[in-house]
Amino acid sequence: MAEIKIEFKNLSKQYKDVLAVSNFSAQVVSGRVTGFLGPNGAGKSTALRCLLGLVTPTSGEALINGGSYSDLSEPIKHVGALLDSRGFHPGLTAMQNMKVMASASAIDFSRIPELLKLVDLEHATNKRTKGFSLGMKQRLSLAIAMLGDPEILVLDEPANGLDPIGIVWLREFVKKLAAEGRTILISSHQLAEMQNTVDDVVIINKGELVAEGSISEICKGKTLEEAFLDLTLRRSA
């Protein structure tokens, strides 16, 4: 049965002069891939950062399994996250970066080679990440997100920098995870790609919820791109 795994409840985040997220509410359920879509600056990353306890909401809340991220014990065993910031040290190798993360949550190192193989970074295991391409960094971030074998994945533009093969691989990968009953929340700009990947869609614009529903409800026979442009342009006009 699909359960509500992630819930934004009247979430607002005010930076000095920008209301990045405004009274935003949405739900994400298990066993499905949910696309989190919106124009640049819409507030996607901010909402996800609130969800992960990195940013303190001005009001409202963002919940995982009904509680806050920071109340989870050993959170990376429940939630894997890939964010748009670099999350690892350039002076450390891929392996060393993963060991640093794994040891902080007492995760067995034997998983690491497996995960590096999964994201096709075996050849770079002992290379310092300083020399990694954007796509390689993205793959490493994904491997780190999977470190705790989480039931929930929060991915902020994971396709950034991936080559076409990588993008297809990522699509199949998240679909497979959702089929296993996991919860995937994935933000992206690549609408054509998202059309083939997601089951549900949450659209945000200027910090506010614009639309929420299954992909067929949102698209109503149009492409996701057309539906998205309709929804976001109409609202901002």
Q: Are 134 and 166 in contact (CB under 8 A)?
A: no
Nearer to Mg ion, 97 or 187 (CB): 187
Nearer to another protein, 94 or 204 (CB): 94
Site residues (vs Mg ion, CB under 5 A)? 45
Site residues (vs ligand ATP, CB under 6 A)? 15, 18, 20, 38, 40-46
Verify binding: residue 18, another protein, rule CB under 8 A: no
Beta strands in 15-48 (DSSP E): 19-29, 33-37
Verify binding: residue 101, another protein, rule CB under 8 A: yes
Beta strands in the chain (DSSP E): 4-14, 19-29, 33-37, 59-64, 79-82, 152-156, 183-188, 200-205, 208-214
CA-wise closest residue to 66 among 144, 9, 150, 145? 9
Nearer to ligand ATP, 183 or 187 (CB): 187
- Residue 84: exposed, middle, or buried by beta-carbon count in 10 A (0-12, 13-18, 19+)? middle
Verify binding: residue 99, another protein, rule CB under 8 A: yes
99 binds, among ligand ATP, Mg ion, another protein, none (CB under 5 to 8 A by kind): another protein
Return d(Cα 7, Cα 71) in angstroms, integer.
15
CA-wise closest residue to 23 among 59, 51, 48? 59
Instruction: State the nearest-atom distance from the C-beta of 41 to ligand ATP, in Å.
Output: 4
Nearer to another protein, 185 or 201 (CB): 185
Contacting positions for another protein (CB under 8 A): 49, 52-56, 69-70, 72, 75-76, 81, 83, 85-93, 96, 99-101, 103-106, 144
